Structure 1
Amino acid sequence: MRSVSLAFGGTAVPLAVTWLVWGTTYLAIAFGLRGAEPFTLSAVRFLTAGALLWGLAERRHEPRLTALRWRRATLVGVLLFSVGMGGVALAEEYVDSGTTALFIATVPLWSVLLNTAGGRPARSGEWAGVWLGLAGVAVLSAGLGRGGLTGAAILLPAAMCWVLGSRLDDRSAGVRGPAAQMLAGGTVLAVAAAVRGEFASPPQLAWGAVLALAYLVVFGSLLAMAAYRHLTAHTGPALATSYAFVTPVIAVLAGALFLDEPLTLHVLAGTALIVVAVVTTLLTRSRPAGPTTTAPGHPEAVRVRRRPASPTSGPHASS
Structure 2
Amino acid sequence: MSTTFRGTAVPLAVTWLVWGTTYLAIAFGLRGTEPLTLSSVRFLTAGLLLWGLAERRHESRLTTPRRRRAALVGVLLFSVGMGGVALAEEYVDSGTTALFIATVPLWSVLLNTAWGRRTRGAEWAGVWLGLAGVAVLSAGLGRGGLTGAAILLPAAICWVLGSHLDDHSAGVRGPAAQMLAGGAALAVAAAVRGEFASPPRPTWGAGLALTYLVVFGSLLAMAAYRHLTAHTSPALATSYAFVAPVIAVVSGALFLDEPLTAHVLAGTALIAVALSTTLLSGSRPAAGPTTTAPGHPEAVRMRRGPASSR
Structures share fold, TM-score greater than 0.5: yes
- Relative distance call for 1:37 and 1:269 in structure 2 (3 A) is farther
Q: Which residue of 2 aligns with 1:155?
A: 152
1:45 aligns with 2:56: no
**Counterpart secondary structure, 2:168:** coil
> What is the CA–CA distance in structure 1 between the aligned matches of 2:8 and 2:100, rounded to whole Å?
28
2:65 aligned with 1:68: yes
Q: Is residue 185 of structure 1 aligned with residue 152 of structure 2? A: no
State the match for 2:201 in structure 1.
204
The whole-number CA distance in structure 2 between the counterparts of 1:111 and 1:57 is 30
Residue matched to 1:286? 283
- How far apart, CA to CA, are the structure 2 residues paired with 1:132 and 1:25? 24
Instruction: Give me the whole-angstrom Cα distance separating, in 1, the residues matched to 2:109 and 2:308.
Output: 22
Shift of residue 286, structure 1, vs aligned partner: 3.3
> What is the CA-CA distance between 1:99 and the residue it aligns to?
2.2
Find 1:125's aligned residue among 122, 133, 141.
Answer: 122
State whether structure 2 residue 227 is matched by structure 1 residue 221: no
CA deviations on 1:152-197 (whole Å, 9 max, x unpaired) are 3322221111111101001111111111100111111111111111
Please name the residue that 1:259 is paired with. Answer: 256
Q: Between the two proteins, what is the percent identity of the paired residues?
A: 84
The range that moved more, 87-96 or 286-295, is: 286-295
For structure 2, the 5+ residue unaligned runs are 1-6
2:33–2:200 Cα contact (<8 Å) kept: yes
Per the alignment, residue 111 of structure 1 pairs with: 108
User: Which position in structure 1 is the counterpart of 2:51?
Assistant: 54
Distance 1:306 1:64, change over 3 A: closer
What CA distance in whole angstroms lies between the structure 1 residues aligned with 2:209 and 2:222?
A: 17
In structure 1, the gaps of 5 or more residues are 1-9, 308-315
* Alignment root-mean-square deviation, CA: 3.6
Give the TM-score, by structure 1 length: 0.79
Farther off after superposition, 39-48 or 251-260? 251-260
- Contact map agreement 2:46 2:218 (CA 8 A) in 1: yes
How many pairs does the alignment contain?
A: 299
String of CA shifts for 1:38-81, please: whole Å, max 9, x gaps: 11100000011001111111111111111111110111001100
The answer on whether the counterparts of 2:21 and 2:251 sit within 8 Å (CA) in structure 1 is yes
Letter in 1 for 2:250: L
Q: What residue is the counterpart of 2:3 in the other structure? A: none
Residues 35 and 203 of structure 1 are in contact (CA less than 8 Å); yes or no, is this contact kept in structure 2?
Answer: yes
Q: Residues of 2 paired with 1:216 and 1:121: CA distance? A: 35
Residues 69 and 166 of structure 1: is their aligned pair in 2 closer, same or farther, counting only changes over 3 Å? same
- Does structure 2 retain, via aligned residues, the 8 Å contact 1:43–1:190? yes
What is the letter of the counterpart of residue 61 of structure 2? R
Kept in 1, the 8 Å contact 2:117–2:287? The answer is no
Over residues 74-125 of structure 1, what are the superposed CA-to-partner deviations in whole Å (9 max), with x where a residue is unaligned? Answer: 1100110011101111111122212222322331221111112223343322
**In the superposition, relative to structure 1, how do residues 267 and 155 fare at CA in structure 2: closer, same or farther (>3 Å)?**
farther
**TM-score where L is the length of structure 2:** 0.81
Output the amino acid matched with 2:102: A
Q: 1:150 to 1:144 in 2, by over 3 A?
A: farther
Q: Is contact 1:95-1:148 (8 Å) kept? A: yes
Separation (CA, whole Å) in 2 of partners of 1:176 and 1:249: 33
